[in-house]
Amino acid sequence: MKQVLVTGAKGQLGRCLQSISDAFNDFEFHFTDIAELNITDSQTVSDYFKTHKFDWCINCAAYTAVDKAETEVDKAKSINVEGVRHLAKASEEAGAKLLHISTDFVFDGKQNIAYTEKIKANPLSVYGKTKLDGENVIKDFLSRYFIVRTSWLYSEYANNFMKTMLRLSEDRNELRVVVDQIGTPTYAKDLAYFILELITKDSEDYGIYHFSNLGVASWYDFAKAIFEIKAIDVTVNAIKSESFPTPAQRPVFSVLDTTKTKETFDYKIPFWRDSLKLALMNLK
């Protein structure tokens, strides 16, 4: 039975992986978070790999507080760059394959067609820069790796846009949501299934891949869809980003082209509204 390490297991993607792991009984999963494995400590990571003899490492651990990263630069680097370096080094020494989760925020959002894996990254924020630096660390250390970039993750777990909108609607009948940032909402459980099916295939088509649900939306569209599906009577007003300034600059357009992923792995990706309906149904 192959041994699989999952870091960041208490985050929403990690929890989605846990929720479906019983369906993948060819693997023995080791779900860890900072209490079990602090990836920013190189010796701890090295010792952990030597003890468990992993075949795969799925790195879901990340510093994702986009705005806080502008002032907590060292903390973002310690997790998104140095932590990744330690995992990559340990994976190489152990002969394990690394699957790392990255982000659409590595792009500047200045083009108006979906981003392929071949387009040069140019992050606008500290968060995006540290995630790109983490990607580059992996490419420097490893030849056997998968970097999966995704966008606008949400799920039943942890904090995310879908749950925030539902919470705000409990005591407000009117909300203002940004309309001029365009991307694709992605259900973390769809990504979790893709990840586990990818490692099941034991593919050697290594490299960078994009995974998001299909379709295009603004945050305004996303919010409207949540309330329409749940039949919640809330007025959603569209505002421009300049009316809602944030410390970190975000890409205006960050739709990911998933053609390479679909064709390489012969994988069918759901449309974002269909997945949103499923996520809302699964939400307790």
Told to judge if 154 belongs to the known catalytic residues of this protein, a careful annotator would answer no
Q: 196 lies in which domain range?
A: 2-159+184-213+254-270
Average pLDDT rounded to a whole number, residues 123-136: 97
How far is it, in rounded angstroms, from Cα 213 to Cα 144? 26
Q: Is residue 276 in a domain? A: no
Q: Is residue 175 in a domain? A: no
* Number of domains within the chain: 1
Average pLDDT rounded to a whole number, residues 101-128: 96
* CA-based nearest residue to 165, from 188, 191, 185, 190: 185
Share of the chain above pLDDT 70, in %: 100
Q: What distances in angstroms separate CA 93 from CA 7, 84, 218, one per listed residue?
A: 18, 14, 43
Which is it for the CA torsion 39, 44, 46, 51, positive or negative?
negative
Q: Are 204 and 238 in contact (CB under 8 A)?
A: no
Q: Is residue 52 in a domain? A: yes
Residue with tokens 């082209």: 257
Q: Phi/psi at 257 (nearest 5 deg)?
A: -80, 120
Does residue 147 carry a pLDDT above 90?
yes
Q: What is the pLDDT of residue 135?
A: 97
Q: What is the pLDDT of residue 275?
A: 98
Average pLDDT rounded to a whole number, residues 103-120: 95
Question: What mean pLDDT, rounded, does the chain reach?
Answer: 95
Poorest-pLDDT segment among 31-35, 193-197, 202-206, 241-245: 241-245
pLDDT digits (tens, 9 = 90+) for 220-260: 999 999 999 999 999 999 999 988 788 999 999 999 999 99
Please compute Rg for the chain using Cα positions. 19
In this prediction the pTM is 0.94
pLDDT digits (tens, 9 = 90+) for 161-177: 999 999 999 999 999 99
- Please identify which of the residues 48, 63, 115, 127 carries the catalytic annotation: 127
What is the pLDDT confidence band of residue 219, given thresholds at 50, 70 and 90? very high
CATH number of the domain residue 15 falls in: 3.40.50.720
Q: Is residue 149 in a domain? A: yes
Q: Is residue 205 in a domain? A: yes
Average pLDDT rounded to a whole number, residues 117-145: 95
Q: Are 203 and 143 in contact (CB under 8 A)?
A: no
Q: Is residue 47 in a domain? A: yes
Q: Is residue 189 in a domain? A: yes
Q: Is residue 42 in a domain? A: yes
